Structure 1
Amino acid sequence: MNCSRSLYVRACVVSLILCSGALAVFGQSQVNKPVKVEDRRPPSEKMAEKRWTIKRRLVQNTVTRYNYYYHAKLKLEGVLKGINTQRQDNYNVFLPFYPFSVDKLNLNTTDLDSVIQKASVAVQIHDPRSKWIDDCYLLVGKAYYYKGDWENANNTFKYINTTFAPKKKSEYSTVIGRSEDSQLSVSSREKEKNWFSRFRHKSARNDAFLWQARVYLEEKKHDEAQSLLNILETDPYFPRRLEGQLAELQAYRFYKQGLYRETIEPLKVAIKKGKGSRDERARMSYILGQLYFSQNVPDSAMDAFRDVIARKPDALMDFNARVQIARANAKVSGANMEQSLAALQRMMRKERFLPFKDALYYNMASIVANDDPNRALDYLHKALKVENPNMLQKTLTFKAIADIHYFQKNYLIAQRYYDSTASIMGPEFADAELVNTRKEVLTEVAKRIDLINQEDSLQRIAALPADQREALLARKVTIIRNEKNAPVKKGEDQQYQAYNNNNRYNNSNAPGNNGDAAGDWYFYNTGSKSSGYSEFKRRWGNRQLSDNWRRSQGASIASSANKQPLTDELPATDNVAANIDRLPADSINSNVLAANLPVTPEKLAESRTKQMDAWYELGKLYHDKLENPRDAIASYDSLLARFPDNPRKAEIMYSLYVWHEKMGHTQEAARYKQIVLSQFGGTSYANYIQFGLPKDENKERTKAVSAIYESAYMAYLTGNYDTVLTLKRQADSAFQFSSLQSRFDLLEAMTIIKTGTEDEGKNAIAAVIKKYPGDDIILRQATMISDALNKKKEVVDYLSNLQVARDSAGNAIVDENISIRYPWQSPKPDLKDSAAVVQKPATDSAAVAVAPPPPPPVTPYKLGDEKAANPHFVVMYFTRVSKVLVDEALAQFSKYNAEKHVTDKVETSSFVLTPTEIMVIFRLFPSEDKALDYLDEISKSASSVIIPRIKPTEYKFFIISRENFILLNNTKDIEGYKKFFNTNYITE
């Protein structure tokens, strides 16, 4: 019993020991077991490590294509289809190459983000070896393109071109390009030899090249786009299936740059080989017809438009193609204009073209506009009467009427039609800027004419005897009161109609009125409806069709308008008729009408002054803004006839002299010139005619003129020649005459030399020489330029035959001891030999010593006034010419200024003084002290910090004022200014 118990105890102890050991071992194993690391790589990377079996290939290709790529592609096509239906094209001007403009799509980015998401998921969760992965990337790039995200689009297409490049050894050389028959190849080869190859999957890499070029074009990187397209065009391996798209992009590149003649040939290839839809190819054919028409090739244009009709486009394009055929037919040699008009008339009788009746009238007017403007106006007024919700066509019709009146110099009528055009045209209207500009200018012209007519009417009424004036006013009070309660019949009280300032407009010329519908009911009167629509838009703006719009959106405006106070007195403004219209009928009486009549000498003088100012401003508007010197002369002639003793007579006489001379009226110009010189001899205008330098110019005027001249001069230096001419015209218009006029004229002549023909440049500089014989600086500079122009051929021949010695590296060998002498210059005298010649009196037998050359002229550099603002430049002058040195300095100093002088906005640029003297300019410092501080700073840091690779012996620094800089550029006397700088700025 005891034995069995002891055995049992021993067994338990052993079991406990074994269990404890097992637990210890198990616990130790649990402690030492490594923690499992979670693999967070995307599924695509994991799949790439597995074997690419036939089963996996089939599954991955199928799922990637139909579960993701297909739906993303379908989504993108739906977005593009919606874009094409949003735009209303103007078929009378060049159509946009594509039916949308990427920068103006204003798309809901959610749809495009959905495309990117679907395609991106396919890339992340499927095997990267699937043949549809590159197509998914291509969809992502396209979506970024349509979003206008050029950077991401470009990066995506670049990624496709590098990642999916051929990997086989035999094709590796094509990745970096290889020479085959002297042609560079970058494309991926596609099998196109047999019929079955068309059903094979095509790599998206070649498509990505084209889309990358398209992104470059949208970014206006035309050089990069041209380089890529030229490589693809000559690539022997570029697939034939993409030749149409390649030609399309070539055409788009030319079309986008306005090179219409060059666009024709690639566009023809794109139409022939392109794989686009029927509508896309019809659009290209229509553009091709427009290009031929613009190049005056009507036969080819008609063929292109017939091709458009054959492609069965939408009704609007089909109609416009037929219209363009009729217009082109009118230009064909031997064609009759009436035949084209008859063709359009026949279209008008067909039911399917009834919705385009106004467009037909518009195009009929376009055909006859040059030969018979009045007939064109008749067609256009008929177009306005046609009921059509197409506001684009209504806009074109209004603008066409305005243009005809504008070129006929009927500015008042043109102004009203431009105003009507501006009130209904959309923001994308092609000529919106032109319409707004002309509307504003003509509005100013109309205001002056209105004011002149109004003051004439007021003066005539004021000149009547008191009893007649009172009777007229009393009668008019009755008419106005009745008019406010009921419409007044046509022709009532024509005498006071002038006072109401309505006689200046002929009813037959009112917008939308053809002259025979003045008494029509409102809804039959096109002019009334169009003016009512314009008034509605002006007052309420563009509003969506909805119930109770006026109550919900306009009640506050209407209520505030009704709360304006009413008084018995006429408000003090210039337009009397407009103010009377604001008053209620009960508030109008004879006193109200007589309030603005010039019945006293003071009011009469004020009225005449208003007219004088209006005539004067009208002449300037005609000449400066409308470029119509004939009407400007007529305005000033009327001003002198009405007010012969006006205070601006001297300036008006001078303007008439200048304008007649510009128009070639020699006798009239001479007559006004003689009047200015004889009657106004002491004025600045006479001085300007004689010497070109007006006297007694105040400081404010000089400062203003100098600011404009500086801007013009810097624009010339930077090559902005259009800006130079614009600023010159502004200065002439604003100041007429100034102390800088001679410099303005010289600058204008130099600009003409740069932009005009050789004869125009010579004539311009000759005019400056003739005009300023007493101005030594201008005369010397103009003479030098004239000599250079006259010797241009000799310079070109000399430089063409010049032999330049070069070293083994191909660099030109420059000997600083050799000075260049052109063939027409006299030999440089040997001063050492000539100094040794003993001067003797000249006799018949004695040789006369050669006289040394005269000393160079002294340049009148001056120190500025310390109290006045005196802007300065800091100049880095190189002791030898080297483009490498200039580029190095320009880059390093630009970087230095961007880091150290951010708030000062110091600009750094290169400046060529002469072909052998190039400088770096730092501008603009407000004072001499600021320039000196900057000079000291860069002088200490240049050799050690900023430009350590350029030797200090190769450059020098100095400062120069703005006025002295202008003199330096005119005279090219760099040595003279260096002496001036050392004398006045350098202290020992």
Structure 2
Amino acid sequence: MKTPNKTILLVLFLAIVALSCSRKKDKFINRNFHAVTAEYNALFNGYNALEQGKTSLNEAYFDNYWEILPIERMQIFEDVVLPGQSKNENFSKAEEKAVKAIQKHSMNIDGKEKNPQMDEAYLLLGKARYFDQRFVPALEAFNYILYKYPASDKINQAKVWREKTNIRLDNNELAIKNLKRLFKQEDLEGQDLADASSILAQAYLNVKIIDTAITQLEIASNATKSNDERGRYRFIQGQLYNQLGYKDSANIAFNKVIELNRKTPRIYMISAYLEKVKNFDFENGNKLEMNELLAELEENRENRPFLDKIYHHTATYHLKNGSDSLAVAYYNKSLRTDSRDKLLKAKNYETLGDMYFDASVYADAGEYYDSTMSNLVLNSKPYRIIKRKRDNLEDVIYYEAIAKVNDSILNLVNLSEDEKLTYFETFVSDLKAKAEAEKEKEEAAERNTGLATVNTIGSRPNSFNSAPQSNNFYFYNPTTVAYGKNEFVKFWGDRPLEDNWRWSSQGASNTSNNNTLTSVLDTASEEERFDPQFYISKIPSEEKEIDSISKTRNYAYYQLGLIYKEKFKEYELAKDKLQNLLDSNPEERLVLPSKYNLYKIYELLGEQDEASIAKEEIIEKYPDSRYATILKNPELVTERDENSPESLYEALYIQHENQEYADVISKSEEYIKTFDGEPMVSKFELLKATASGRLHGYEAYQKAINYLAVTYANTPEGKQAQHIETNVLPKLENKEFVQDTDSIPDNYKVVFRFNTAQQEQIANFKVTLDEVLKNVKYYNLNSSVDVYDPVTKFVLVHGLKTAQVAKTFNQLLTEKDQKKIKAPYFVVSSTNYQIIQIHKNLDAYLNIDNN
């Protein structure tokens, strides 16, 4: 009897379940069955996936504390997502569960939804789409709730999420309007009030209404149940007060963040402290308290993840306080933390670069600017600003390096034989000491490794922990401590305990000489490294080589003088460089422009006596020079000087356009000698190179471009020459002619050949040719004159589209016009004509059976 009863009960249960599964019957059991199934199956799993997706999103998001934080921590990606794709699988899963709940458990009977969980399903659907950054579909889901479920207990949440989506779609004004209406219509409380107020604050921030945004954040901070949100809202309030210039109000807001302590993420508390450091009043503030606060922040073990920011703001504080050495130390400390914040690194490098720039240490400043750019977004506005600074330093770094190296070589050249031997014996003894110290270091490392192994094996177990103790900490071993002290003294010398100890008196008076020897060391064998005579043998001894080094050094001095004067307005530095140049027995071409620039510098520095002496010297010793003329007639400076290099270059360029290449080459050479050392010289060199190529062909052009690229490497023209050498010349080196066929589309030219000396005959022939071409029917033809080489010119006819027509050019003319054009001609395609002009291989072309 028991078995039939069980069977009956099972059948009844299955029947009830079957009847309750129906979504078309508005019964109590049906409604509750689908509501419970939807809530505790699809929606439960969907919300779990949504939370997992939000967690991964927050972990990947990196707040930029250099700008006003957004209200919501959410990274917006610019990547385009195709239909069916998703940025996060968890959000796709949440959306799938929401759709499943709607499809399997919706009870839409007579136009009304009977399942009370469907509004929750559509809310989940909208949130999943929102966090997946598919804002238009998300907006549809939220609008559906407002349209279909006006009596839902989730209606206010749906309205808030709809406006969050509108803000993401840049509909800020619409969001503000709808949220203000929501506040009027509904008496919001708790988290609903916090969410609505915070998102309204974001809308006001987007439209730059900051004071109203602060008010809404105050409401949200008081209403929210989440301390994480409260800390963020308070911190943003402080940032906004700072933006408005209300530092006292900002500090009050930051104090409220600090009071939350461990209730909110520690990054907010640390950032609040650092913002207060930025707001410090250096005139009236208590500097002792601020120093103690910074020390406490630095020493607190819980703050280790934020030391990069703490060190940076400490450095900035010391920099504003006038403690430059402390600032440099802390900026370097911040860089050594290996921070993830690239913008923080960029600011550290940029500030250090600016400090070296202000101290006129331009080479080091350039290196820091390079590091700054490596941490900025390529081609962003900050990147372009730093790049402009760095480009301005290019020349000074280049010429400073030349001057430094050549000075060190000339210093060695000028030493007597005994002094050279003494110097290199000292150098070699230092090398031996370093080699021995390195050897001892390696041996000590091996001994320490063995000692650590013995200590580990012989250690007694701790009474509280069965793991053995290891006593291999460096400072617990007196042997290694003593060795470390000795090694430090050998390498650095006896240094006082102070900031930037490595910068002070680094022991060698001839640092530049040591730097010069570095490259020699790289090529030396083991025996040669410790032989003074090896280094002495490397010192230049031939007069020609020494003169070349001296000339290069002098030219670098001259360029540095001009750069410091014109670009950086560092008149003292410019004066030093030019005076050093004049004391170094420079070649005559640099003397006069150096003295003239010194005269201008004296005037700028207010040193009128020195300026008068320099002026009189120029007028007396160089009365016929352009500089003397300017000094005697200062009005020429304001008027157009026809003898200035700029005016002469413009005139010469016009000659180049008129194909007067021989004159351009000869005059360029004359002007290069006249204005040697001035910035216009590289322009004359480039113009000369171009004219040489047009007149003499590819090889002459290649040689001139190579000379320009090497000699004037750091000028714009030198860089242009480098580009031509790398990218243009390889495309021009082909000498092979293309076969002329009508199947290959090209333009064709009829070419008449003349001797350059026949100037009058060429002019008369071109006039006649132009008259004849006007009478040609069906073709729009014109003529021109081209220089081929120093003894040959071409008169060309343009406008012929096929080789066959070009070769029968004479037949296009009337019988009367044919009698006027009796000069022989040949036909060439535009492609082959270009090759002829580039390589000057006309004879090779005429030997081909093309005509």
Q: 2:406 aligns with which of 455, 477, 484?
A: 455
* Deviations 1:369-415, CA, capped at 9 Å, x for gaps: 22313363376279579x96766588876665444444444444545
Q: Which runs of 5+ in 2 are unaligned?
A: 1-20, 441-487, 503-514, 619-624, 658-677, 685-781, 787-797, 800-851
Partner AA of 1:159 in structure 2: E
1:696 aligns with 2:677: no
Q: What's the counterpart of residue 469 of structure 1?
A: 420
1:335 aligns with 2:285: yes
Q: Percent identity?
A: 16
Partner AA of 1:695 in structure 2: S
Q: 1:225 aligns with which of 172, 191, 211?
A: 172
Q: 2:273 aligns with which of 310, 322, 327?
A: 322
1:156 aligns with 2:108: no
Partner SS, residue 155 of structure 2: coil
- Per-residue deviation at 1:299? 1.6
Q: What's the counterpart of residue 628 of structure 2?
A: 679
TM-score with structure 2 setting the length: 0.51
Written as runs of structure 1 = structure 2, the 5 A alignment for 1:75-90 is 75-86=49-60
Q: What's the counterpart of residue 457 of structure 2?
A: none
Q: What's the counterpart of residue 600 of structure 1?
A: 542
> Is the Cα contact below 8 Å between 2:318 and 2:327 reproduced in 1?
no
Q: What's the counterpart of residue 284 of structure 1?
A: 233
Residues of 2 paired with 1:632 and 1:144: CA distance? Answer: 63
> Is the Cα contact below 8 Å between 2:53 and 2:90 reproduced in 1?
yes
- Per-residue deviation at 1:462? 1.0
Q: 2:327 aligns with which of 377, 392, 395?
A: 377
> Is the Cα contact below 8 Å between 1:160 and 1:208 reproduced in 2?
no
Q: What's the counterpart of residue 366 of structure 1?
A: 316
- Per-residue deviation at 1:77? 1.7
- Per-residue deviation at 1:156? 0.6
Q: What's the counterpart of residue 63 of structure 1?
A: 37
Residues of 2 paired with 1:289 and 1:235: CA distance? Answer: 27
The number of residue pairs the alignment matches comes to: 558
Q: 1:125 aligns with which of 95, 104, 108?
A: 104
> Is the Cα contact below 8 Å between 1:268 and 1:288 reproduced in 2?
yes
- Per-residue deviation at 1:252? 3.7
Partner AA of 1:299 in structure 2: D
Residues of 1 paired with 2:652 and 2:219: CA distance? Answer: 62
Q: What's the counterpart of residue 712 of structure 1?
A: none
Partner AA of 1:209 in structure 2: R
Question: Cα–Cα, structure 1 residues 405 and 102, in superposed 2: closer, same or farther, change >3 Å?
Answer: same
1:112 aligns with 2:91: yes
Partner SS, residue 697 of structure 1: helix
* Deviations 1:163-212, CA, capped at 9 Å, x for gaps: 45537xxxxxxxxxxxxxxxxxxxx9779xxxxxxxx2326652343232
Which structure has more relative contact order (CA 8 Å, sep 6+)? It is 2
* Deviations 1:670-710, CA, capped at 9 Å, x for gaps: 9999989643769xx997742288423369978999xxxxx
Residues of 2 paired with 1:349 and 1:238: CA distance? Answer: 52
Question: Cα–Cα, structure 1 residues 419 and 696, in superposed 2: closer, same or farther, change >3 Å?
Answer: closer
Residues of 2 paired with 1:208 and 1:704: CA distance? Answer: 70
> Is the Cα contact below 8 Å between 2:42 and 2:98 reproduced in 1?
yes
> Is the Cα contact below 8 Å between 1:405 and 1:411 reproduced in 2?
yes
* Deviations 1:265-303, CA, capped at 9 Å, x for gaps: 256346336647321331232232233234432221221
Partner AA of 1:76 in structure 2: L
Partner AA of 2:58 in structure 1: N
Written as runs of structure 1 = structure 2, the 5 A alignment for 1:697-712 is 697=649
Partner AA of 2:103 in structure 1: Q
> Is the Cα contact below 8 Å between 2:349 and 2:372 reproduced in 1?
yes
- Per-residue deviation at 1:255? 5.2
Partner AA of 1:211 in structure 2: K
1:309 aligns with 2:258: yes
> Is the Cα contact below 8 Å between 2:350 and 2:369 reproduced in 1?
yes
Residues of 2 paired with 1:157 and 1:672: CA distance? Answer: 79
Q: What's the counterpart of residue 851 of structure 1?
A: none
Partner SS, residue 372 of structure 1: coil
Partner SS, residue 77 of structure 2: helix
> Is the Cα contact below 8 Å between 2:98 and 2:125 reproduced in 1?
yes
Question: Cα–Cα, structure 1 residues 478 and 139, in superposed 2: closer, same or farther, change >3 Å?
Answer: same
TM-score with structure 1 setting the length: 0.45
Partner AA of 1:342 in structure 2: E
- Per-residue deviation at 1:459? 0.8
Residues of 2 paired with 1:327 and 1:51: CA distance? Answer: 67
- Per-residue deviation at 1:456? 0.8
Residues of 2 paired with 1:702 and 1:692: CA distance? Answer: 18
Q: What's the counterpart of residue 215 of structure 1?
A: 168
* Deviations 1:88-130, CA, capped at 9 Å, x for gaps: 6565665565445322899973333323322333343342645
Partner SS, residue 290 of structure 2: helix
Q: CA RMSD in A?
A: 5.9
Residues of 2 paired with 1:234 and 1:653: CA distance? Answer: 78
- Per-residue deviation at 1:458? 0.7
1:344 aligns with 2:323: no
Partner SS, residue 272 of structure 1: helix
Once the two structures are overlaid, the 10-residue window that deviates more, 695-704 or 464-473, is: 695-704
> Is the Cα contact below 8 Å between 2:205 and 2:213 reproduced in 1?
no
> Is the Cα contact below 8 Å between 1:615 and 1:639 reproduced in 2?
yes
Question: Cα–Cα, structure 1 residues 596 and 340, in superposed 2: closer, same or farther, change >3 Å?
Answer: same
> Is the Cα contact below 8 Å between 2:172 and 2:206 reproduced in 1?
no
Partner SS, residue 101 of structure 1: coil
> Is the Cα contact below 8 Å between 1:618 and 1:635 reproduced in 2?
no
- Per-residue deviation at 1:142? 4.2
Higher helix share: 2
Partner SS, residue 401 of structure 2: helix
Q: Which runs of 5+ in 1 are unaligned?
A: 1-45, 168-187, 192-199, 218-223, 490-514, 530-573, 706-731, 739-864, 870-927, 930-988
> Is the Cα contact below 8 Å between 1:61 and 1:132 reproduced in 2?
yes
Residues of 1 paired with 2:579 and 2:139: CA distance? Answer: 70
- Per-residue deviation at 1:345? 3.9
Partner SS, residue 321 of structure 2: coil
Residues of 2 paired with 1:704 and 1:79: CA distance? Answer: 68
> Is the Cα contact below 8 Å between 1:402 and 1:418 reproduced in 2?
yes
- Per-residue deviation at 1:457? 1.0
Written as runs of structure 1 = structure 2, the 5 A alignment for 1:252-271 is 252=202, 261=210, 265=214, 268-269=217-218, 271=220
Q: What's the counterpart of residue 610 of structure 1?
A: 552
- Per-residue deviation at 1:72? 1.9
Q: What's the counterpart of residue 721 of structure 1?
A: none
Residues of 2 paired with 1:310 and 1:632: CA distance? Answer: 53
Partner SS, residue 211 of structure 1: helix
Partner SS, residue 464 of structure 1: coil
Partner AA of 1:214 in structure 2: I
